[in-house]
Amino acid sequence: MSLLRTWGLAALALAFAAAAAPAGADVLRTPQMESELVSSRAVIAPGERFTIALRQRPAEGWHSYWINSGDSGEPLKLTWTLPPGFAAGEPQHPAPRRHGVGPVMTFVHEGEVFFPIEITAPRSLAVGQPVTLRAHLYYLVCSDICIAEEGDLALTLETAGAGRDDATWADRIAEAEAALPQPGAEARFTAGDGGGGVLSVATPIAGRVRDLAFFPFERDAIVHNADQAGRYGPGGVSVSLQPGFAGPLGRAPLAGVIAFEAEENGRWTRRAYAIEAQPGAMLANAAAETAGDAQQTIAEARPAPSVDLAGLPLMIALAFLGGLILNFFPCVLPVLAIKGVALAQGAHNGRARRDGLFYLAGVVTTFLLLAGVLMALRSAGEAAGWAFQLQAPWLTASLALLFFAIGLNFVGVFEIGGGEGLGQTLAARGGDAGAFFTGALAVVAASPCTGPFMAGAIGFALAAPAPATLAIFLALALGFAAPLAALSFWPPLRRIIPKPGAWMIRFRQVLAFAMFGAAVWLAWVLAVQTGPTGVLALMILATALGFLALTARWGRVWNVLAVALFLALGAALWQPLTRVQAKSSDAPAQSGGLAYEPWSVERVQALQAEGRPVFVNFTAAWCVQCQVNESLVFANARVADAFARGGVVALKADWTNRDDAIAAELERHQRAGIPLYLFYVPGEAAPRILPQAPSADLLVSLANDQPHLTEKSP
């Protein structure tokens, strides 16, 4: 009898334990993250709509990402395998936090997070038999490095005629649902200058507000790392927003989540609202006070890199030397044609020194103007670097048309009158404006190149205070202008130039083809930026420009008609010349001998975690030195074979179009331009920075020094 009683008590205890135990679930554990599916219901009924949740708990110092991850990262993905008749909704994200590293701003989840998911059971569900919900989970978890992780999850639930809550998870999932961004709050976006404006949201505010931030659903809607200047009042909250790549704000409703902490009865409570702001006047009483402890303003997110100004004299010297060497780079060759003609015209008259001064003024003015624009953009939160202007397709097209027009001038299709240009007769003078323009154009043409000593000097300049920045750019300008200025001011050097004569006609005609070659190269750059539509628009405009040049001698009426035609075509074709072509895919790209994968910070970190050697090529279609290296070095079969034997993974960071993540990485390595080549050796904390013109032998040697890892998958 006692034995039966013992067995009975044991059975009763097991029954109670089974009733109290949570639904069966697999837990996916890694050193960085713990993930599982949990349910608000231990038992479900036919036709029931209930909530489960993906629970994730990262290790200390690690985080995952929101729906819009910001400047970097990516959100989680769940791929379901459900029993027949079941349906699953999308995971619902709580409001994220802003997380800034240098200029890169991301939107992250920290600490334990529940992602509620609505599940619907079929009405035909057979009761009495357990059902299992399965999902494949992929997510990115980051700390100092980022690791992409994935695995399979399963959740088993009992079925019955009536459902029952899960004692462990029901309340916690209900709390997670209550903390989700709430819909229904009235929101307005009031447009301001520069495509930005103020977002205001109506919600009662009784006390103070802090950590106020807006998170857009669309990735390119706003500048993520800009200071949002949060404010609040009795009637609501407001933030200032700057437009992102998607264009000016206020033309359409702006959707996202606004989150903040509000003081209520002496305690701070986080509130979040899912809003869709309509264009209109700012809501009343939403901007009386400044929100405290603003979460990661631009000043916090982009700390000014510390530079030791004791190194300023050395950087000035390097900048001068870099500018001097820049004269011999291929990107400047088209403008050397203009320099040659100007020298030949002015070498044997009294204007030589005057022309040299105006050429110097053109170079210095343009360099300092570029420096000023760079400083202004960076102080406004833009990730701009050397040659930033060629990331705008319309500027690329404009330069192509300019070089084409100069070529037409050189072959005599038209002449620039008034003694102020480049196309005068042999006896005419170049003119002050012509010399100044030549200097300015030389700088613009040189900007796609970064010569030796320049990269470090410009990187130092952009991290230094404004006076030091201007001093370095001035030294760069003086170095760049020095050769022609020396020819202008030193008579013995000018004597080596032949006197003007018939040879100049042939010389100009030959040099015209250097101009046409530069225009063709820029058309290729435009093709990379905008696709064939942009190149078609450029060809139409070039045809119109040729017609305009031809009619220059036909009289004023023809001139006006031709100019009107060119301007009308320019307006009509503006859109194709400003629309940046989307990247086609993330598939590996073959470039000569090397097979590249697209670069990302996360990919580099993942490969480092695997112990793989990594080569990163920071390049752009408009960077002449980059393209020379591609053809002469990276297309070398010896390099490709050595990389394959050494298990070296090649990544390409294409900066042809604007990419803030690439700009941030360049800044991290104290570079403001490209090319930049990095080689990550397993076990070494920092990458090796390779020369701007690396040899095939150097790359082969680096690859051969690595362990043979070809049996590992990338």
Let me know if residue 710 belongs to a domain: no
- Identify how many contiguous H helices and E strands the chain contains and give both numbers: 19, 28
**pLDDT by residue (tens digit) across 268-283?**
899 999 999 999 888 8
The candidate with the shortest Cα–Cα distance to 202, out of 284, 122, 135, is 284
Residues 346 and 419 in one domain: yes
- Give dist(CA 44, CA 42) in Å, integer: 7
Residues 445, 539 within the same domain: yes
Same domain, 229 and 157: no
The answer to whether residue 584 sits within a structural domain is no
Examine the fold and report which residue of 178, 199, 232 is the final residue of a domain before the chain moves on: 178
Cα 148 from Cα 75, distance rounded (Å): 11
Residue 20 pLDDT exceeds 60: no
Q: For 552-579, how does the pLDDT look when each residue is reduced to its tens digit (9 = 90+)? A: 667 676 767 767 777 777 676 666 655 5
Please tell me which residue, 142 or 692, carries the higher pLDDT value.
142
Structure-model confidence comparison of residues 586 and 326, the more confident one = 326
Work out the average pLDDT over 211-231. Answer: 90
| Whether residue 339 sits in one domain with residue 386 | yes
pLDDT of res. 349: 54
Mean pLDDT estimate for the chain: 77
Q: How far apart are CA 165 and CA 466, in angstroms?
A: 64
Q: Which of 172-176, 341-345, 646-650, 672-676 has the lowest mean pLDDT?
A: 341-345
Domain end call among 301, 335, 366: 301
User: Is residue 11 one of the residues assigned to a domain?
Assistant: no
Mean pLDDT is lowest, of 63-67, 192-196, 645-649, for: 192-196
* 3 within domain boundaries: no
> Is 364 in the same domain as 507?
yes
* CATH number of the structural domain spanning residue 156: 2.60.40.1250
CATH number at residue 623: 3.40.30.10
Residues 171 and 237 occupy one common structural domain = no
Is residue 75 very low, low, confident or very high in pLDDT (cuts 50, 70, 90)? very high
pLDDT tens for residues 587-634? 444 445 788 899 988 888 888 888 889 999 998 877 767 777 887 888
Q: Report the C-alpha gap between 391 and 663 in whole angstroms.
A: 12
Do 69 and 206 fall into the same domain? no
**Is the pTM value of this prediction over 0.75?**
no
**Interval 488-506 mean pLDDT:** 67
Please report the pLDDT score of residue 711 as a whole number: 35
Shared domain for 284 and 347, answered yes or no, is no
Give the C-alpha distances (Å, rounded to integers) separating 650 from 111, 624, 646, 653.
Answer: 35, 20, 11, 10
Is residue 9 included in any domain, yes or no? Answer: no
More confident residue, 27 or 663: 27
The answer, yes or no, to whether residue 476 has pLDDT greater than 70, is yes
Q: Is residue 7 part of a domain?
A: no
Same domain, 333 and 286: no
* Helical packing angle, 432-446 and 393-410, nearest 10°: 130
Residue 303 has pLDDT above 60, yes or no: no
What is the pLDDT, as a whole number, of residue 584? Answer: 41
Q: What is the pLDDT of residue 28?
A: 92
- What's the angle, vertex CA 328, arms to CA 324 and CA 329, rounded to 5? 110
Q: Is the pLDDT of residue 294 over 50?
A: no
- 243 inside domain: yes
Q: Do residue 258 and residue 325 come from a single domain?
A: no
- The pLDDT, as a whole number, for residue 463 is 61
Both 568 and 602 in a single domain? no
Last residue of a domain, one of 147, 178, 209: 178
Select, from the ranges 169-178, 192-201, 496-505, the one with the highest average predicted confidence (pLDDT).
169-178
Residue 131's pLDDT is 95
Mean pLDDT of 44-73: 93
Percent of all residues in the chain with a pLDDT value above 90, rounded to a whole number: 27
pLDDT the model gives residue 710: 36
| Domain contains 10 | no
489: exposed, middle or buried (C-beta count within 10 Å: 0-12, 13-18, 19+)? Answer: middle
Task: Check whether residue 318 and residue 438 sit in a common domain.
Answer: yes
Q: Over the stretch 399-410, which tens digit does the pLDDT of each residue have?
A: 778 778 877 877
pLDDT at 608: 85
Domain interval for residue 653 = 589-704
Domains identified in the chain, total number: 4
The pLDDT of residue 582: 45
Mean pLDDT confidence for 123-140: 93
The mean pLDDT of 170-174, rounded to a whole number, is 96
Q: How does residue 496 score in pLDDT terms, banded at 50, 70 and 90? A: low
pLDDT number for residue 412: 75
